[in-house]
Amino acid sequence: MKAPYIMAGDGGIETLLPTIEFLQQHGATMIEVGIPFSDPVADGPVIQAAGLRALAAGVTLTKILDELLLHRERITIPLVIMCYANPITRFGIERFAKVCDAIGIKGVIIPDVPMEEEQPFTSALAPYGIPFIRFVTLTSDNARIETTLRDAQGFIYAVTVKGTTGKRASYDPAIFTLLQQVTAKSPVPVYAGFGISNREHIANFLAVCDGVIIGSAIVQALHEKRYDDIMALLK
């Protein structure tokens, strides 16, 4: 599984569908669709800047969902929504779940909602069979990992660094041990994300888990229109 992350509406809402179509044509097997938010606690500088550009262009959760719904017939690979809790709550959690179902969304990631606070979201998504994606991190102890894996849905998002998104030159070797352990125990696939930016990273992580999510490198390359670089990453 190779899943690029995009900031929806970076460049204007009219770029959303062409970006999805480009990625699905060149090897993406899933796309994580980021929703711009003014206070993104998990995002590094590249994704923060992309979110601010999208917000400046007037892009909102409502406009993104409307655009995806309008063009759902042209989207041929799974989409997962990554959004902070505030925009979903303002939109309406039940309404959000219903629209996601109409679009065909295959999972929802809400990075500022821990497992202990997920119930309002999971109860709204469950009738439509839409997974609420949980995280494991380098700071998760064994008890936390066991609880996270219990009743996990969709996939496990394994955060590869202690910090926000963004390119890394190297990784703590402990992440590879963690990924091997979590993948062996998990009832659902395990995808690694944060800082994965080149083909060596991709190969190293695919050796110990089920997939990778490529964020900042894709977002920056899209912004700079370096499409050949994106195609090389997705090969």
Residues known to be catalytic: 32, 43
Residues 146-158: b if buried by 16+ CB within 10 A, e if exposed? eebbeebbbbbbb
User: Quick count: other Cβ atoms within 10 Å of Cβ 69?
Assistant: 13
Query: How many residues in total does the chain contain?
Result: 235
User: Quick count: other Cβ atoms within 10 Å of Cβ 71?
Assistant: 14
Alpha helix (H) ranges present in the chain? 16-25, 45-56, 61-70, 85-91, 93-103, 119-125, 142-149, 174-185, 199-206, 216-223, 227-234
**CA-derived radius of gyration, the chain:** 16
- CA-CA distance, 233 to 221, in Å (whole number)? 11
- CA-CA distance, 161 to 144, in Å (whole number)? 17
- Write the burial class of residue 235 (CB in 10 Å: 0-12 exposed, 13-18 middle, 19+ buried): exposed
- CA-CA distance, 18 to 227, in Å (whole number)? 12
Assigned token pair, 23: 């990625």
Comparing C-alpha atoms, which of 223, 232, 230 is closest to residue 7? 223
